[in-house]
Structure 1
């Protein structure tokens, strides 16, 4: 038989589907840490072929092969035998009562179905391989318990185990058969030689009676040995089985004694609990920070945009400045009007004074016409009165009245010109103030138009304060979210690393628990590794004495069976000595058969001689 492919799903340690391809391998080794599932691969092959697992006490038990928490286990094993390819499939399903049964089993050869039930599959495999389950687990697959027993047995027991595992007893049987045949041949030769020699002098009636009597006793001895043989075989098988049971129970006792809580499990559980608590707190903190951020964003979204509010507030402040300037300009306008009116009155007074001075001058001219005319003459120019060219200016004294009137007129003209200049300045100043005021009022009106539908100055200041406050709160909330996420990320990494350590511890626990499966250890508590260890230790403490007691009982049974077999053998050997059967160098049955053959030959010779 050559393995080709193994498929597992839900089978003990292999919860998920696993495929092992042996197709291209002439030799292979299963390598991995304890608990990795190496033995489970061998168990799966045995289960696919025979429907039993070597490590389980009860060959009929199938429920233990289903992975913890699963409801079905499926195994398919492809192998070649000769020129044909075979596929053995078994599917075990849990029932409503917590038990399990093989719901599907079949054996196919190159697509042809050879067996369709669990029993048919097992029988067909035995027929194909020529090995029942017990022989297969001794000749092809060496179970861990047998190997441990082999390592710890003494030399004699190891030799016996090897003889049993390798079926070397057949050579002992062959030797006994050969010796029996040799003895028979030797007896026949002696018989024939005696006849050839004609040595029948001893043939007497008494000798014949004695020979027949011994022959009868030997037949009785043969019957006694044949009758005892089934019991001897049962006792031998019982002793062997009891020794196997002792070895298995001793191994389980050693495994139970090794069940102790690792020193770091409790600390690991405390750290996991603490980290889990911190993780929940961090998740709550992150959720609260995110809610706070959402609330802050909602509050900020409920407020108007900041830029329009800032623009409105700046517009109100600009309008305030314009209004203040407008108030100043109105005051300046009033003052400019007063100054202009005063300047206008001064100008009007200057005009009146000038008209008066002109009248006075005209009067003075009229009174002093000659003096006035003389003053207007110029040499070479015609006289305005006589139209004669003036050659010489007349010499006459000036008229004081005329000079005073002229001086007053000049002064009045200058005063009017100054009053006119001042009036112009006052009017210009007043016009400039009015122009600036009109511009300010236009700008104020434009601001009022822009600000008409917006918030007032006080409202805009309050809105801007609310917007800035909401922005600060939002930024703080976002910083809180950032810090909470960083803390949550770190705790997530720490928790993941710690769970990896726990998973490694869980694998060690599962490996130890798997070795105790035959004793049906308590089910796992769940994800609490410390609780699982505590319960397993408590169970091991209570189960250990029971297993030790069973081992002691098995030893006692082995001793009883060995003693009974020894007693039975001693009785048979005593009977052999009574019948003068030589047991040296031969087994019990071959010696009895040889003696019986010789006795029969002796009777024949004696009867022949008496004839």
Structure 2
């Protein structure tokens, strides 16, 4: 894979669009990616990863908030990468999921992620579906996203942790890089089979225990410690013997019950017949004692039956007598009521027969009909007067409203002019708001820049002083180191000169002559330890000086940015302008907020003017109609009053006279009806009296009084009939019973002891029930034991092969899982990963030897960990200086960087080979160079030079100053208040 070009917009700290030409930047095969902390160095690598896989490495992918905070909310974040993968050139464009403001209203709407893949070499159809693009990239690279993040974007911190981690932690990374899923599936399959076997064994054991428990519960014996055939068979034999004994006892008890039941039935039957005969004799005796009562009941019943048809006629005669009296009283009351009226009294004084009453009613009805039309008009007079009053009030109120409306219309134009003026003023202020807001924001940024510059200047002064102190300390440490080195060299010459012997060869040059041996005080010589301590002190001072230089450079860059923002402005004038702009903007925003309400006020005034003018015109039309209606009502009232006075002569009103005539007619009709009702009731009275006399004579009664004394209710008659019927039935039943031969024989025989026979039967049945219960329990126990013992034998036969199979599966599952007989505590998957790790260590050892000048190489350890930890993935380092195997945790900071870089490069080679031997033409190495001394850095640079042979491009991500001098091709990430930018420095120039 080789990267050619990348374009980034609104992504991470990059607000504006930035581009990188990797062909130009990596022309020399090696380039440096550097910048301040937080500027966005890692974001460039994230953009490459996002373009390829739609995600970013590690924990940074958790939040998924990739839209730049420095960019405008409506700017679409986008990454475009052009690369060659697997000999096919392609261009991938991706936009992450983000939010942007809604076009209407407040709030935001979510925009889904989108992507496109264009084959630049025309080798296939373009793709726009995200899953298809991901599949194409993985297929061409031959590795997953996790593998790519580890072997192309080499994170040194991750490999340093990997170097020092336990086997379990290394296993997690290696599983992501190497496909060991099938071995894990095999482990899971064996564990599942072992669990299934354990489940079946436990189920079978539980079945056997459950059956044994049932046998114990039934037989009442103690179960043996181990399952036993003989114990189960013995329980069954005992149950069978008990069942045979219980059956014999139950048969004998049943025979005794049958004998007792026969004796009891015979005695009970004789006793029942004797009791029946005695009861029949007693009933006949009671009938003889009540013979007089029965005769009287029979006589009363016959009289009551003869009087029953005549009683209703007697009742009707009494009711009609009462009706005649009531009708006579009603006729008298009607005549008195009619005489209460003058014209009615006159009528009653004359011969007021029925024809005279009819003629009077007709005469009064005719007179009332003549007054009916005028009465209707008189009844409407109150409503006519009320309408007249209401209309006069309505006309007065409407006239007052018209007056108020005309006054309001006269004042309306002035009110409208005021509202229009206020609207124009507010609209002018509203138009100025955007300009005022921009000027206020600029003034605010300038004021903040003044404040920040004061802080930066104070910090810069302290940093420059720290830099001067660091330079002095570094110079002193450097001079002290050079002095010690010189003194050591001098001291070594004196020591060697003191060991020279005339005539013997020199150990340095081999000469036997010593013309000018060095002289001096051997006690002032310097040892190797002192020289190393001075070198370490010089290195620490150099690091402190580099840190101080970086801090001063950063503060100077920050001051330059702030000076550019201030641009020579005066602080006091800027503050005054800011305060004025804040006040003006507040007024403009208030005016903008009031503009809609002011426009509504003008519209309301215009609408109200038009509405009131229409209302006033409608009012004038309505008032004309009301005036005409008022004149007509007054004329109708005057005409009605004149006509009533003329018709009645002023004595009473029309309505009163008509009510008087209606009352005369009603009372006259009441008198006619009362007289007719009296005649009808008298005729009915004579008819019923004649029928009653005839009925009494036919039944043999002298009159109604005798009938009523003989009469009885139907209930009483039924009681007499029932009494007579029961007496007859008792006599017949008793005589029939005494005629039965068995009853006669029972009366002559001695009395039977039924209680004794009953007691004997109860005792026999109790013995039978106990014997039957014991027999049923014994038979059921025998049946249950036969079933459970059979099941016990079958379960015991099936248990042995299940136990053998489970032991085999359990042992094999524990072995492949790193437990049980596995002495190294290494699982099958760990074993496979250990083989992969061994390949990685072999590939990494060559580079580690080169970077450590042949001192170190990796060694794979498959020993088990401490405290039972799994083994197989251990890493140790062989020190060729001592020949000792060392733990990776004993390496120094620089040595750890060597080891982790070599491990990362070795892993990249192995994973590349695993993915089909695809060459990774572009790789990135992220940080870790700050721990190296100049000599170690030379060795690492030599390895990097080897990496770029054959056309490979290596990108180094670091902020170490010395790398800037060593690597001419650089991609500098610049941090700013409004987002980061990129500056490319290549051997061809700066862009």
TM normalised by structure 2 equals 0.19
TM normalised by structure 1 equals 0.29
